[in-house]
Chains A and B, each alone.
Chain A
């Protein structure tokens, strides 16, 4: 390969970034950057930037780099070069054009998946450096429009999808009613004090995938669970503010979520099959609020389902008989080590399991994570192109016979759906909840 391509391949078409850039002056850029660097970063950022010896070994850790035929500008360290190296070297004296490219890199060319931290010999956390860049962009008002809209929704409604309070309760009651056709007397208990399980979901579930709430209710019911869902804001565990760099809002959201559970005096929070929400509750939001670990026990749906099978709380009619493969989402595998539990569930529910490679901690990201899919249509083509290596991985699993991809994360679903469609892979996507619901033996 000869010299790398120009940093900017095509003009971006994102009004959030374009309008944001128009309002910048070099003075404002310098002031905001130094404010963030001085008050919000310290030895960690300094060490990460100073220690990097420019060896390029992080490159193989990045699915963008691999998907773009090893184009050097997509290597993790190259993304630091296009953002914080220059910013620190020039002490914040960078141009609006520089910020424009830095925003595109930080928001749409990095899924914050932390895979590269497992490839850098020094364990430098490039996802953290990209988060600092996003924080600067947020403070400069240069954020992709679509993800900023979800952040606005969070600010106004405390949920990601502009769902009004009555619509939320209405959706739960609607799903309850639907499910009662199948299971008589099934309830989705609202605001039940002292319940064992507080079930929280992400905003897109009631908005687009209400059947997941239905399925969860059927599973909880079959397990005889003492559970509840909150009727008030705090029900949405998702968090796009974490990804735009709006950490003040991230803290408010996480506080609302924890408090909704604490007010109901529940034993633990069980979260739906979502990765980024788990990152927000277990990794970033709780720490921003000053909790070393979450103040309440928080478990992901995978842990919950695994427990149901280990304790034999639910029974299945027969195993799911189409061959499946499993996608390990970044935020709950590199974020919480749930890969072996996922496999326990697959083995308990499916007849024929085909591993995709690489897997577990080394699995490739779906390219949707880190808020990249939430940056919306202006970046969709670039995102799907960056899924080439993921597509090859799926094709390989398909060649071994896999027909169904289990992806226990909403963002992964969105990303994989686009990849499967674009590359014509023709595989079906499912959540664990879909599979368990399908084969569940309903109690008498």
Chain B
């Protein structure tokens, strides 16, 4: 058990981070060079002011008409994404590992709060699953990969919650937790999870078009 633990926290963790960073950089580079070659207009019309204007509206809860039409989705999406980012970065157990490995540390979330935020992520994944199954317009679009991605995102939080509470079999669960986190990292550049990096560009481009050519709002 100990050697598996060393493996998943050692070489495999390095590999996961390398694939995550390298893969993301590669996707960015290949999209950028393809855009330079084929979509020169994107660079012509991209406009920082209007891109930020649009992104700002879409990052503000209830800042767009569609968010108001779908209030439950709005609340869940914002809560989900905020917790999804903050928990792994600021949960005490993770920060300790950075401290032990690299002697760097930062602010940590109080245990109860991190616990609640983890539940928010798990609940949100449940909500997304419910939408996928129950809403015809979402189900029509859903593929097996969409369920898989949802599972990949939920897994580190379910296992993390388990480990934190030290429920039965938590040593095995710890390894599964680390593994699932690594799987998620590796999945980001090669799946639709990459939207986390593309969002500013797609939204920003539409915002630029609407702002400087169409002279209309896009929210």
**Distance, CA A360 to CA B217, complexed state (A):** 10
Cα–Cα, bound, A54→B136 (Å) = 12
Contact of A60 among B35, B38, B70 (CB under 8 A): B70
Is A121 within 8 A of B143, CB to CB? no
Judged by a CB distance under 8 angstroms, whether B130 is at the interface is no
Q: Tell me the complex Cα distance, A60–B64, Å.
A: 13
- A293 to B47: give the CA distance in the assembly, Å: 15
A337:B215 contact, CB within 8 angstroms: yes
A287–B40 CA distance with the chains assembled, in angstroms: 11
Mask for A39-69, Cβ within 8 A of B = 1, else 0?
Answer: 0011110111011111111011100010000
Chain A residues with CB under 8 A of B146: 53-54
Q: Smallest CB-CB separation from B197: which chain A residue?
A: A51
Q: How large is the interface on B (under 10, 10 to 19, 20 to 34, 35 or more residues)?
A: 35 or more
The reply to whether A70 and B137 contact each other, CB–CB distance below 8 Å, is yes
How many A-B residue pairs lie within 8 Å, measured between CB atoms? 141
CA distance A333 to B216 in the complex (A): 7
Residues from chain B with Cβ under 8 Å of A187 in the complex: none
Cβ contact within 8 Å between A123 and B207: yes
Residues of A within 8 A of B131 (CB): 55-56
**Complex interface: chain A residues within 8 A of B39 (CB):** 42-44
How far, in angstroms, from A75 to B135 measured CA to CA in the complex? Answer: 12
Q: Determine whether the beta carbon of A50 is less than 8 Å from that of B66.
A: no
Asked whether B5 is an interface residue with its Cβ less than 8 Å from the other chain, the reply is no
Contact B202 A122 (CB under 8 A): yes
Chain B 165-209: CB-based contact to A (< 8 A → 1; otherwise 0): 000000000000000000000000000101100110111111100
Query: Smallest distance from the beta carbon of A65 to chain B beta carbons, Å?
Result: 7
A122 pairs with B31, CB closer than 8 A: no
CB of B36, distance to nearest CB on chain A (Å)? 8
A194 near B: Cβ within 8 Å? no
A43 touches B202 (CB 8 A): no
Q: Mark B129-152, 1 if CB is under 8 A from A, else 0.
A: 001000111111111001000000
Tell yes or no: B69 within 8 A of A by CB.
yes
Known pairs A123-B203, A125-B206; A43 contacts B141 (CB<8 A): no
- Chain A residues 356 to 401 lying within 8 A of chain B, measured CB to CB, are 358, 360-362
Q: Is the interface of B mostly helix, strand, loop or mixed?
A: helix
A 18-53 binary contact with B (CB < 8 Å = 1; else 0): 000000000000000000000001111011101111
Contacts of B41 in A (CB 8 A): 287
Report the bound CA distance from A257 to B183 in whole Å.
Answer: 57
A283 interfacial contact with B, CB 8 Å:
yes
What separation, in Å, do the CA atoms of A56 and B134 have in the docked complex? 12
Shortest distance from the beta carbon of A336 to any chain B beta carbon, whole Å: 6
In the complex, which residues of chain B have a beta carbon less than 8 angstroms from the beta carbon of A117?
Answer: 206, 210, 218
Which of B137, B213, B218 is within 8 Å of A123, CB to CB? B218
Determine whether the beta carbon of B42 is less than 8 Å from that of A44.
yes
A122 and B140 contacting across the interface, CB-CB below 8 Å: no
Q: Tell me if B94 is interfacial: C-beta within 8 Å of chain A.
A: no
Complexed CA–CA distance, A337 and B217 (Å): 8
Task: Write the chain A residue with the least CB distance to B205.
Answer: A123
Q: Which residues of B contact A41 (CB under 8 A)?
A: 38
- How close is A225's CB to chain B, nearest CB, in angstroms? 25
B residues with a Cβ closer than 8 A to A are 31-32, 34-35, 37-39, 41-42, 44-45, 54, 58, 64-66, 69-70, 73, 131, 135-143, 146, 192, 194-195, 198-199, 201-207, 210, 213-219
In the A-B complex, the 8 residue pairs with the smallest Cβ-Cβ separation, listed nearest first, are: A42-B38, A123-B206, A337-B215, A72-B140, A43-B35, A56-B138, A54-B141, A43-B34
Chain A residues with CB under 8 Å of chain B are 1-2, 4, 41-44, 46-48, 50-57, 59-61, 65, 70-73, 75, 77-78, 81, 117-119, 121-125, 283, 287, 292-293, 333-337, 339, 358, 360-362
Given A42-B39, A50-B198, 13 more contacts at CB 8 Å? A2-B136, A4-B136, A41-B38, A50-B194, A52-B192, A54-B142, A56-B141, A72-B140, A72-B141, A123-B202, A123-B207, A292-B44, A337-B216
